[in-house]
Structure 1
């Protein structure tokens, strides 16, 4: 991920998105002001808040003039002289439409004639040309009002994302030479200590030096329940210290913190287009020139086939045709819907890496889950030690000496249980036997530590009773002889069963894959209601199982740690990482990151994808249906410019309100 951070500016402008580097379809024409990600440019001054306010003030003045003209004409039946009417309407027209005319001119200079700015300019100037001054002003005024609402809606849709981007503290209290001083987080070095008073945000990743402290992690995980950390446990930037002065030893620079990486991912997500957005972007590029030529044909063709041809009549109809054909509702409401979906997900502790993955989640009909850390807590505890020919703690000491070289939770459970018994014991020549266990030298003896497959691989005899043990089992062999075993149990997560039940309610097949032995896997699957469960799997075995599901026509989401199961994540349609705050690699590799460990969030991610897609397609159907109806009426001489502009602005506002609705939905 390529990102440059300028600490004096807002995060929104600090980051270059992946799509910018890849050359995706974004319009960054600086002379035109800002542009939305879909290429739908809006410019209300482009020079900051003051010019934006001036643009709105001009629009309000134009609206007031239009209202006054309508009252005089229709209320008091006062008809102004043509020259005065032209002058007054021209003033209102320029106040409301100057930016549109400017953009139309600039784009035309570059050879881009088929866009909404040129379309609206031609339609309104045409109205003036045939003497329909007030209607021309009305079209431009209501178009500008629609643009104003659209910009406001986009800003609101991005508000929750901006809130996430704003959670990074600008100042941190660092302890130096026994005294505290306030500095920018970027000035803090690795190994230094920082302090947070109650209510202050953690600015940098590190480990807690205080005995204990409680933190609000809602900004990162979506969970409002306080999380109590103890000395030595990890603390992440973005957490809020709750009730005591806490001290943290920094172990990651400002630019490398989990929060910075998450912010980059969210920023990328707003720029990465969904397939629907890309389709509409391509569609509008074809659609706009087509309606231009149809409008032209509406003036020219009747000359040859209509007996009492009137240029004024057919030219007016072509203007109606141009106004209603403006694609604003489509090109704004659709990305607005995806912004809303990404924002809704982020508020629920779910990070999508782009609108395209919101679409992917709607097609998922099979969820394949790793066992440890996904459906179970991954917090293992030793249950039983059975030694053969040596003392139990001696078995634990030798086993733990080798397991110290493993990062697997099972191995760490053994090391934790051994405690001080390990002493200075160290293993040498340690080798990992993928999917089986470890091999090494301890006290000059060859030690094998792992599962039953490891024993079979090296031809070591072991008691038949070990085959029927339900708990996870770690078997140790010393110099090719069975030395005993340690049983370890994991705890199933509280919401695992309800999550699986919710998936089944959505007609989603659930599958669990694990390298653990089949008896353990079957026991977990039975407790939580998994459809199919496969144990004793090596990484390539997991790939085979996922491939077989794909061959059967399943659209698959794989849920795991995003690191050990990288081949499966790559094969799945969507890779979902659980507990993304715990792993840098998870944030890099997953398509969707669930920032806490709750399996129920998998269901929430699927529902958010479905809600977003539903609303987006509602907007597409609404916009197209209204436009087709009014286009037909306009071509037939039934609809006027008034009806065309009201229909155009009306459908745009309805689509916007529908898209904004996503942000209020609870999942």
Structure 2
């Protein structure tokens, strides 16, 4: 069986089997080298082995080096200041502080050496090593240990924050069972999920997860779809309906006929999208990474100048004093708060969205959707259910309604058209006592048959005109789709068939208006139907009778007005306009594979109310990112000036570096707890 492969940015294959994909988020992948300025903290690990995912370590194991170091540091500070001992002097005191330093300092020293060997000299690790070893060299042992200790604690908190951000996405990976039970010759057999063939019958016990997409063969079954849609409410499916991989069977033993290969299931494609989402960086994220590469060597040069220049201009120059100031300056200058919290903010946004059944293919789309001015929506399947239902039945009293409907039902059962399905669902089971002869489909008009020696016509009013059937209504005055019926050369009446508006469509339009976003409706359906739906929802601009190229032209017109446009659709014909728009959103349930592949954002449960939610998540993510940027720059600028002037100690430097980084991380993870 063919497997989907996942590749990194350099084209290297990362994984192909299910087991490998399940372990994807914990694998070490090659990234750019460098300090936290160049390390991609929202990824899984760095090229130097600095694993930000935390691997399988427990929280206690991650904090253990810092705990040991903290205990030794507190004891030494106590012996220095509160419980002085005659033996705690000289080399014994120095060795004690060295032992307090090593649990947190050795890993960073190792990282610094490895970074330099790879050509990345101005790394975060080197800055921390210079600052702390320099503090030791001038006898500031407690401060040297404290700087490295708090830096390590910051790194652990960063790792925990990244792990938390990944949790919502990693739960998706757990939704694909390794094995499934299939029925062969009425016997249950357990096989690997990826070995199942299209057409196989899967047996689902209560509590089982479905491994592949398929068609429900049982009369009905309830499923938990929370992993796919973010909705906790059970979804009841009936025979013939589509069920998706990742759904959990809730109430009865069910059978499902597999319709899609394992690697092509919607869940597999979604996982692939989410796993690769971080490859598309937001402009802010890319700028900060480039900025940090320039920023780090510049502040290192300034630190050197702080030592050298005073020697030239100041008479009472004291080397240790200016070295201390330079070391403070170096600690402050680490750009950790920026390069950790900003990618983490975007990654948190992607995680928060996936928790709510909205999948972004990259953090750049979080930025783009936050600035959307006009949301253009398709009608059928986006704002309406995409399922036709009989709305009204108008018959001439001289005819037996039940008898005529039975005839129509049998005739329409020969067709797979959605309208025929709607009629069949409305009437129910066919009457096998009625026999139809000479069934003929008249293209673009409808169906014709002979029943009890008399002619039965079912179709549009063009069909009535074609067979010279006289009727007394004006079809153009009726909004819904009309199915006209004639029997024995007489007009019997008509059925109205319509697609019902989704329950949350009105809420969606209202919410978009609150956000200051315009809404436009485009559809290939009849203009009067499109206008009726648009008016009912309060959408001012609507256009019907559009071909795919017409939709493209309409979006081009909006973009020509310098409007940022988001298009939301689900059909194959929507793929071109989804690709053209600034942000393309696809409905992931009913949506075609072509549209889902083209889209930048996928809404799992087809609920239009997720459109304003996605915009809101984008806005909140962007707000948090800029809060972090402002906080980091403001605090660092103040403390840098104080440090250069000798007014800030190493403790203020620790706050400016690690403290601000921790505050920024805590601010970044807020988005995962927000209600949207």
TM-score exceeds 0.5:
yes
Whether 2:389 is the aligned partner of 1:381: answer yes
- Contact 2:69 2:149 survives alignment (8 Å): yes
Moved more, 187-196 or 353-362: 187-196
Whether 2:654 is the aligned partner of 1:648: answer no
**Corresponding position of 1:519:** 528
**Corresponding position of 2:609:** 600
- Contact 2:409 2:423 survives alignment (8 Å): no
For the residue of structure 1 that corresponds to 2:521, the secondary structure is strand
**Corresponding position of 1:480:** none
Whether 2:343 is the aligned partner of 1:332: answer no
**Corresponding position of 2:10:** none
Task: Tell me which of 367, 373, 384 is aligned to 1:359.
Answer: 367
**Corresponding position of 1:503:** 512
Task: Tell me which of 566, 576, 579 is aligned to 1:557.
Answer: 566
- CA displacement 1:428-448 (0-9 Å, x = unmatched): 9x8xxxxxxx599999xxx99
Task: Tell me which of 14, 22, 27 is aligned to 1:11.
Answer: 22
Moved more, 501-510 or 225-234: 225-234
**Corresponding position of 1:231:** 239
Give the 3 Å change call, closer, same or farther, for CA 378–97 of structure 1 in structure 2: same
Give the 3 Å change call, closer, same or farther, for CA 658–422 of structure 1 in structure 2: farther
Moved more, 69-78 or 337-346: 69-78
Aligned residues: 634
What CA distance in whole angstroms lies between the structure 1 residues aligned with 2:322 and 2:610?
57
Whether 2:212 is the aligned partner of 1:204: answer yes
What CA distance in whole angstroms lies between the structure 2 residues aligned with 1:508 and 1:550?
14
Whether 2:295 is the aligned partner of 1:287: answer yes
- CA displacement 1:406-449 (0-9 Å, x = unmatched): 6xx55765787899799885769x8xxxxxxx599999xxx999
**Corresponding position of 2:68:** 61
Whether 2:147 is the aligned partner of 1:139: answer yes
**Corresponding position of 1:83:** 91
What CA distance in whole angstroms lies between the structure 1 residues aligned with 2:438 and 2:283?
58
Task: Tell me which of 467, 473, 478 is aligned to 2:476.
Answer: 467
For the residue of structure 2 that corresponds to 1:498, the secondary structure is helix
What CA distance in whole angstroms lies between the structure 1 residues aligned with 2:669 and 2:196?
40
- Contact 1:237 1:258 survives alignment (8 Å): yes
- CA displacement 1:73-98 (0-9 Å, x = unmatched): 12234584232222222222222111
- CA displacement 1:38-79 (0-9 Å, x = unmatched): 987773799964799767433322221111111111223458
1:451 is displaced (CA, Å) by 11
TM-score (norm: length of structure 1): 0.85
What CA distance in whole angstroms lies between the structure 1 residues aligned with 2:510 and 2:53?
51
What CA distance in whole angstroms lies between the structure 1 residues aligned with 2:170 and 2:276?
13
**Corresponding position of 1:94:** 102
**Corresponding position of 2:285:** 277
- CA displacement 1:227-260 (0-9 Å, x = unmatched): 1111221111111111111111122232222211
- Contact 2:45 2:53 survives alignment (8 Å): no
Give the 3 Å change call, closer, same or farther, for CA 118–181 of structure 1 in structure 2: same
- CA displacement 1:616-657 (0-9 Å, x = unmatched): 111111111111111111001011112211332211111111
What CA distance in whole angstroms lies between the structure 1 residues aligned with 2:461 and 2:290?
55
**Corresponding position of 1:481:** none
- CA displacement 1:438-476 (0-9 Å, x = unmatched): 599999xxx999999x99xxxxxx999343332235799
TM-score (norm: length of structure 2): 0.84
- Contact 2:447 2:459 survives alignment (8 Å): no
What CA distance in whole angstroms lies between the structure 2 residues aligned with 1:367 and 1:238?
30
- Contact 2:569 2:595 survives alignment (8 Å): no
What CA distance in whole angstroms lies between the structure 2 residues aligned with 1:614 and 1:327?
20
Give the 3 Å change call, closer, same or farther, for CA 464–288 of structure 1 in structure 2: farther
What CA distance in whole angstroms lies between the structure 2 residues aligned with 1:99 and 1:36?
21
- CA displacement 1:238-290 (0-9 Å, x = unmatched): 11111111111122232222211111112112443222221211111111111
What CA distance in whole angstroms lies between the structure 2 residues aligned with 1:394 and 1:197?
38
Give the 3 Å change call, closer, same or farther, for CA 581–100 of structure 1 in structure 2: farther
What CA distance in whole angstroms lies between the structure 1 residues aligned with 2:672 and 2:572?
32
Gaps of 5+ in 1: 431-437, 456-461, 477-483
- Contact 1:401 1:442 survives alignment (8 Å): no
**Corresponding position of 1:37:** 43
- Contact 1:386 1:392 survives alignment (8 Å): no
State the Cα RMSD in Å.
3.9
Give the 3 Å change call, closer, same or farther, for CA 44–415 of structure 1 in structure 2: closer
**Corresponding position of 2:168:** 160
- Contact 1:44 1:99 survives alignment (8 Å): no
For the residue of structure 2 that corresponds to 1:149, the secondary structure is helix
**Corresponding position of 1:635:** 644
What CA distance in whole angstroms lies between the structure 1 residues aligned with 2:221 and 2:53?
46
Alignment of 1:99-110 (within 5 A): 99-110=107-118
- Contact 2:624 2:667 survives alignment (8 Å): yes
Whether 2:315 is the aligned partner of 1:304: answer no
What CA distance in whole angstroms lies between the structure 2 residues aligned with 1:62 and 1:344?
35
Give the 3 Å change call, closer, same or farther, for CA 422–170 of structure 1 in structure 2: farther
- CA displacement 1:522-564 (0-9 Å, x = unmatched): 2111111112111222222212221111111211111111521
1:485 is displaced (CA, Å) by 8.8
